Structure 1
Amino acid sequence: MKFCLKHGRCNCVEFYQGDLAAQADAPYILEADYKTWLDVIAGKLQPIPAMVLGKIKVKKGSFSVLAQYVTASLAMIKAAQKVGIQ
């Protein structure tokens, strides 16, 4: 999934799967299996520890820079929880 974020707003979301993820024009690409993403959205797994454990892989971008945005990642998870999982 690609989130187009700017100045605290999400302007669009795009979904990429498999090899198509490499085509995403995004500064960061994170990869994990479906169950891991469900656990993150459910609040059972925090994103930064999941990256440290290798459950979420940073395929593109800098982990050290990304780790500075923990507050933003938690806000995105809370937004996803409001949408729900189907």
Structure 2
Amino acid sequence: MAYQAFTEEWAKAYKDRINTNANYREAARTWEWPLAFVLEADPSLGIEEERAVILDLYRGECRDARVGTKEDLESVPYVISADAYTWKQVMEGQLDPLAAMMRGKLKILKGDMGVLSGYVIAAKELVNSAQQVETEFPDGLA
């Protein structure tokens, strides 16, 4: 079953995939902070306002995944944002997340890049988990 990107249903399916990923569990065993992924608004694609998914990540486990509010984004220590096209490329394996960050396509809005750099393998495993969720992106994306 395909889920519309960055919705409550998608977040729950993503949580399940993260929690069944043994490689993520190992790579993130010392990570202890919530993280937000933001899908930027794009009215031309029918995304009228930004969508955020909050992941409560703690020591290799995703304790919760849900749609986040503006208040959540203020309190979460790590926020990564991109447009729909970039997220689609990352989730379909066409764009490496680290390369996307270096090129400014994935933007770190909040968080310590030094800390994040110590979790490169965990980040790749988060992407691998996302790639296992059947995701629907808006029509009109190449």
Q: Normalising by structure 2, what TM-score?
A: 0.53
Which segments of 5 or more consecutive residues in structure 1 lack a partner in the other structure? Answer: none
1:14 corresponding residue in structure 2: 66
Matched, 1:32 2:82: yes
Specify the SS of the correspondent of 2:95: coil
Specify the SS of the correspondent of 2:76: coil
2:124 corresponding residue in structure 1: 74
Specify the SS of the correspondent of 1:55: coil
Instruction: Report the CA distance between 1:15 and its aligned residue.
Output: 2.5
Specify the SS of the correspondent of 1:83: coil
Instruction: Report the CA distance between 1:14 and its aligned residue.
Output: 2.5
- Sequence identity percentage: 34
Structure 1 segments (4+ residues) deviating >6 Å: none
- Give distance in 2, aligned partners of 1:53 and 1:60: 17
Counterpart selection for 1:42 from 88, 92, 101: 92
Which segments of 5 or more consecutive residues in structure 2 lack a partner in the other structure? Answer: 1-52, 137-142
Bigger proportion of residues as helix: 1
26-35 or 7-16: which moved more?
Answer: 7-16
- Give distance in 1, aligned partners of 2:116 and 2:56: 15
Specify the SS of the correspondent of 1:45: coil
2:17 corresponding residue in structure 1: none
Asked which structure has the greater RCO (Cα within 8 Å, sep 6+), the reply is 2
Question: Aligned Cα RMSD in Å?
Answer: 1.6
